[in-house]
């Protein structure tokens, strides 16, 4: 039988307006309750907060508690796999079979045929129409938490979800000949940085063969493990030998980045899209056809990446590199007023680093 718990949730009722609500959440068999203590703000959270989503999406998804990048401690457990007190990373993508605690074979056509968890047709995602990390008791299937090893500090562990998205994308590359290929990443923001970091520190792509394109020199300076170029100074028709390209820009810059990548990439190359945009993007289909370019999209991640990252993130060299994204101090959140102040600051902040929220639920 399930146990009913009370959760204090800071729910976004409308763009720019949070309210505290007390929710009754059921701790069913096979579930755990996590008290989140640290969250990282994503651009998706900011789009909801500022109202920069389609009106239909806002109407459909609000009100809800935001945030999907987070860690916390288990405070209640209805599973033999996890005990109270363990420090865990939160996996925000919940396929329907995990939500209902049923066999994968009884889920959607994608899951039942062996598809990855992140493409479940009936799943939910924290902070995207389903209450996310901004609540005192986040109840999740046991599959949706991973125990954090002692060697991974909180300020690195909270980057796991964002790292998992990059890891899921780069797994599309065949590792057998990775050292004989030139790979490019478009985007000098956090997604581009983490994708390039996974390529270098996990797949061991050499600096000379890892090219990063960006628009801001101060951001590109952070990519000292790769070969960076300012996008407006580069001749895309002259560079040869780029076999794989990751587009990590998103937003209004997706169109130019995708079409520059098409111009850059070698025949029979691969273009992997990670950038998110609300608008449709016109692309150069003539060159896609002429070159035989393979295009794939990669969104979110699955349990497998989180499991891998609990080993990968113990790499001290990678941790040192990821510290470039870590803010000097988090925003301390004790109530909705604190959260509103923090989100307004994040909206105005044009800095490169991530923004962290440290929750105090007492």
Give me the mean pLDDT over the 171-193 stretch: 83
pLDDT at residue 216 greater than cutoff 80: yes
CA distance 99 to 77: 16
CB 274 within 8 A of CB 92: no
Name the pLDDT band for 276 (thresholds 50, 70, 90).
confident
Name the pLDDT band for 176 (thresholds 50, 70, 90).
low
Q: In which element (H, E) is residue 155 found?
A: helix 154-157
Look at residue 195 in the predicted model and tell me its pLDDT.
96
Helix (H, G, I), strand (E, B) or coil at 15: coil
Look at residue 225 in the predicted model and tell me its pLDDT.
96
pLDDT at residue 256 greater than cutoff 90: no
* 282-300 per-position pLDDT tens digit: 889 999 999 999 999 887 8
Beta bridge partners of 4: 26
* 81-90 per-position pLDDT tens digit: 999 999 999 9
Backbone angles phi, psi at 242, to 5 degrees: -80, 115
Name the pLDDT band for 122 (thresholds 50, 70, 90).
confident
CA distance 199 to 297: 17
Give me the mean pLDDT over the 79-106 stretch: 92
From the list 200, 134, 143, 138, the residue with the least C-alpha distance to 359 is: 134
How would DSSP label each residue in 265-305? Answer: SPTT-EEEE----SS-----HHHHHHHT-EEEE--S--HHH
pLDDT at residue 227 greater than cutoff 90: yes
pTM recorded for the entire structure: 0.92
Look at residue 60 in the predicted model and tell me its pLDDT.
86
CA distance 195 to 181: 16
Look at residue 362 in the predicted model and tell me its pLDDT.
86
CA distance 167 to 169: 5
DSSP assignment, residue 86?
-
CA distance 108 to 103: 11
DSSP assignment, residue 4?
E
Strand extents, DSSP E, 91-221: 93-94, 124-125, 138-141, 145-147, 182-186, 210-214
Beta bridge partners of 88: 72, 147
C-alpha count within 13 angstroms, C-beta hemisphere, residue 119: 12
CB 259 within 8 A of CB 283: yes
Look at residue 174 in the predicted model and tell me its pLDDT.
62
Rounded to 10 deg, the angle between the 303-312 and 160-170 helix axes is 110
Name the pLDDT band for 275 (thresholds 50, 70, 90).
confident
Helix (H, G, I), strand (E, B) or coil at 37: strand
Look at residue 119 in the predicted model and tell me its pLDDT.
81
Give me the mean pLDDT over the 74-80 stretch: 94
CB 258 within 8 A of CB 233: no
More confidently predicted of 309 and 256: 309
Give me the mean pLDDT over the 290-313 stretch: 91
Look at residue 253 in the predicted model and tell me its pLDDT.
82
Name the pLDDT band for 235 (thresholds 50, 70, 90).
confident
pLDDT at residue 311 greater than cutoff 60: yes
Position of tokens 């865990």? 88
User: How many beta carbons lie within 10 A of that of residue 47, not counting itself?
Assistant: 18
User: How many beta carbons lie within 10 A of that of residue 235, not counting itself?
Assistant: 9
Look at residue 175 in the predicted model and tell me its pLDDT.
62
CA distance 221 to 106: 49
pLDDT at residue 147 greater than cutoff 80: yes
Look at residue 298 in the predicted model and tell me its pLDDT.
85
Position of tokens 């996008």? 231
Name the pLDDT band for 177 (thresholds 50, 70, 90).
low
Which range, of 8-17, 113-122, 170-179, averages the lowest pLDDT? 170-179
Helix (H, G, I), strand (E, B) or coil at 87: strand
Name the pLDDT band for 53 (thresholds 50, 70, 90).
confident
Question: If you average pLDDT over every residue of the chain, what do you get?
Answer: 91
Look at residue 85 in the predicted model and tell me its pLDDT.
95
């Amino acid at each position: 039988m399930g146990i009913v718990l009370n959760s204090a949730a800071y729910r976004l009722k409308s763009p720019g307006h949070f309210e505290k609500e007390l929710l009754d959440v059921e701790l069913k068999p096979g579930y755990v309750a996590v008290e989140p203590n640290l969250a990282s703000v994503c651009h998706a959270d900011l789009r909801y907060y500022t109202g920069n989503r389609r009106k239909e999406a806002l109407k459909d998804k609000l009100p809800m508690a935001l945030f999907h990048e987070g860690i916390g401690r288990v405070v209640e457990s209805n599973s033999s796999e996890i005990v109270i007190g363990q420090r865990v990373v939160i996996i925000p993508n919940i396929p329907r079979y995990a939500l209902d605690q049923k066999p994968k074979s009884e889920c959607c056509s994608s899951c039942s045929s062996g598809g990855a968890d992140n493409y479940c047709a009936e799943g939910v995602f924290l902070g995207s129409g389903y209450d996310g990390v901004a609540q005192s008791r986040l109840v999740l299937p046991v599959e949706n938490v991973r125990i954090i090893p002692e060697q991974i500090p909180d300020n690195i562990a909270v980057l796991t979800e964002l790292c998992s998205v990059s890891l899921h994308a780069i797994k599309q590359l065949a590792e057998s000949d990775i050292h004989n290929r030139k790979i490019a990443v478009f985007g000098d923001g956090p997604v581009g940085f983490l994708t390039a970091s996974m390529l270098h520190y996990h797949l061991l792509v050499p600096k000379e063969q890892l090219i990063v394109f960006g628009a801001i020199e101060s951001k590109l300076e952070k990519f000292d493990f790769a070969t960076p170029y300012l996008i407006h100074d580069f001749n895309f028709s002259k560079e040869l030998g780029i076999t794989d390209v990751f587009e990590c820009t998103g937003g209004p810059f997706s169109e130019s980045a995708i079409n520059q990548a098409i111009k850059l990439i070698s025949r029979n190359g691969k273009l992997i899209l990670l950038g998110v945009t609300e608008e449709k993007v016109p692309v150069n289909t003539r060159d896609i056809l002429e070159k035989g370019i393979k295009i794939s999209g990669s969104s979110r991640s699955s349990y497998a990446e989180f499991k891998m990252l609990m080993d990968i993130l113990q790499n001290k060299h990678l941790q040192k590199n990821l510290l470039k994204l870590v803010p000097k101090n988090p925003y301390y959140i004790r109530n909705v007023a604190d959260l509103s102040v923090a989100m307004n600051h994040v909206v105005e902040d044009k800095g490169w680093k991530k923004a962290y929220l440290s929750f105090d639920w007492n």
